[in-house]
Amino acid sequence: MKKGYLERLKEGVLLFDGAVGTMLLEKRNNNCRCCEEANLTNPEDVLEIHKAYAAAGAEVLTTNSFGANPLKLSKYGLADRTREINIAAVQLAREAAGKDLFVAGSLGPLGGKFIFFNKQDLLLAEKALCTQAAALLEGGVDLLLLETFKNLEELIFAVIVIKKQWPAVPLQAQLSLSPLEAGEYQDIVPVVIEKLKDIEGIDVLGANCSVGPADMYEILVALKKEWNGPVAVMPNAGYPRVIDGRRIYFASPDYFGEYVKRYLAAGATVVGGCCGTTPEHIKKGAKILKEERDWEFRIEIDNPEDEEKRIFSWTKGEGSELQRKLEGKEWIVSVEIIPPLAGEITEPLKKAEELKTGKVKFVNIPDGPKASSRLSSLAMTYRIQEQTGIEGIPHLCCRDKNLSALRSDLLGIEALGLRNLLITTGEMPPQGVFQDVSTVFDVDSLGLISLASRLKRGIDTGGIPVHPTLQLFIGAIIGLGNSSWEREIDRAYRKAEAGAEFFVTQPVFNCEEFLFILDKIKGTGLPVLAGIRPLVSLRNAQFFSNEVYGAGMPKILLERMKRQHTAVGAREEGILIARETIETLKPHIGGVVVSAPFGSMKTALAVIE
């Protein structure tokens, strides 16, 4: 007879299936008002997906019931069919699972802005959870899976409610953590575990959604340091790109398989896939699992290098030094500093001081990279300029604010005395970052460049005169490695016409492709700063190749990084590749913007020595 779920976990790693919802949307050509309703209206589609995962080698199938609680279903007039939808979800998964595979009953967050303000809210939430869980258990699931919970308090509430009602049922609880920079998960995860340590009833703890395989590995390493029980990881297939209204995922099955190896090595008990993963991804994972189940692994984790600490003062200047140097054909070097997750400015200032010691004159400050919530790029730029004298190039993205708020930021830039601005459209937030995250996009980068340019000429929205005028040097992004060169070239010319005065590119890995597009946009007459990202490991190179849309990573670079078998060797090779790239591009560009991998200013400085 098949063993119980928790008993089976004691014997070794279990492989879950991949995405059900995104596959169902693809199958229905995005014409699916409620994925869970398909259990009743299109059961053949749901069954086909389950069978594909079973055939691929999944050992646990997840029910198509993620949003099938009465509060979410009420939006579609389906609240009274909660029991029916959930039982159908179990029956379809069970039909594909047969006698050998486990079936996990999926329960997602309650949806909307359900924050449990009062006793009535708590009672409604408890009733909704119990209604769905009872139906899943009635259908015959082997475990209950609380997945993609962005709000930790809601997850704790759900665990308490379910374990109080069904203490003997195996419960797997999975958070959805925001995409962060390397090393930051080591700070966030202990805080999460501290809040969970006294909560009884979590049989398996894990994470799913929001991030791709590389970030999920960092989460796993952090979880294993803090949590003694079984750990589950289920990444998305990289970060999606919205094309024609669809979220397209780019991480390949082979890339997913490579990370399955790393998950096993780092001690994962449960491995699976989330948004964008397919039976092909799970098939690759099953193959890896079969080959390596009984092996012992060693994982090498690079430690961030120490950074020197110095303090300087700043004398505020007039106008943009960046503009003066570019107009004078002087070579520009800027280094990127990522804003922190909180308001603590000490570390960014220390990094800026180190750059000043290395004679770097400019810093780029991104605005919410990876669609994450961070310290304001404008505030951080101001503090760096004020305390170090290094001129900043803050980024401002259109994703998070309406037109009125963006206009306020432009006026704020003038009030702060900042003189440069790089305008970006902004990445779409990965699914599952925050409970109620939304995007705005009143304008894209083209529209915001136009607004900033009008304010420079003393003309506000609606043609109303405004004084004083902005004193800004306006930059725009050029995308690389895209399938539609014509569109990118056309947008470059349109950005120039709207008022852009210089370009900054995404990281350049393929010099041939970059020089091709550079030749096509030379008619704009604008100087170009090339993005340079030094690679630090093969895994890092694979991440850009598989998870960063538009990176255009040549195979020869992957091969070069693959030949390096130590962390030091890989870092040196990455620096060498970056130097070679700069040397190749230097006759054709006005300068470079160098990223500091994992926040290492020493690596960035080594590139530009």
Per-residue 3-state assignment (H helix, E strand, C coil) for 278-336: CHHHHHHHHHHHHHHCCCCCCCCCCCCCCCCCCCCCCCCCCCCHHHHHHHCCCCEEEEE
Res. 483 pLDDT band, cuts 50 70 90: low
The mean pLDDT of 354-361, rounded to a whole number, is 94
Residues 259, 80: Cα–Cα separation, whole Å: 42
| 248-293 per-position pLDDT tens digit | 666 889 989 989 999 999 999 999 999 999 999 999 999 999 887 5
| Domain 5-292 shares a fold with domain 321-608 | yes
Res. 197 pLDDT band, cuts 50 70 90: confident
Res. 13 pLDDT band, cuts 50 70 90: very high
| 144-162 per-position pLDDT tens digit | 999 999 989 899 999 999 9
Percent of the chain with pLDDT over 70: 88
Supply the mean pLDDT for the chain: 88
Residues 104, 272: Cα–Cα separation, whole Å: 12
The pLDDT of residue 308 = 31
The mean pLDDT of 563-569, rounded to a whole number, is 95
Res. 112 pLDDT band, cuts 50 70 90: low
Domains in the chain: boundaries: 5-292, 321-608
The mean pLDDT of 78-87, rounded to a whole number, is 97
Sheet containing strand 60-62, strands side by side: 14-15, 270-271, 231-234, 204-208, 171-175, 143-149, 102-107, 60-62
Specify the range with the lowest mean pLDDT, choosing from 304-313, 554-563, 568-577. 304-313
pTM: 0.75
The pLDDT of residue 355 = 96
Res. 183 pLDDT band, cuts 50 70 90: confident
Q: Phi-psi bin for 534: left (phi > 0), alpha (psi -120 to 50), beta? A: beta
**CATH class belonging to 5-292:** alpha beta
Res. 487 pLDDT band, cuts 50 70 90: confident
- CATH of 321-608, picked from 2.60.120.330, 3.20.20.220, 3.40.190.90, 1.10.10.10, is 3.20.20.220
The mean pLDDT of 464-473, rounded to a whole number, is 84
The mean pLDDT of 59-86, rounded to a whole number, is 96
| 492-545 per-position pLDDT tens digit | 999 999 999 999 999 999 999 899 999 999 999 999 999 999 999 998 998 888
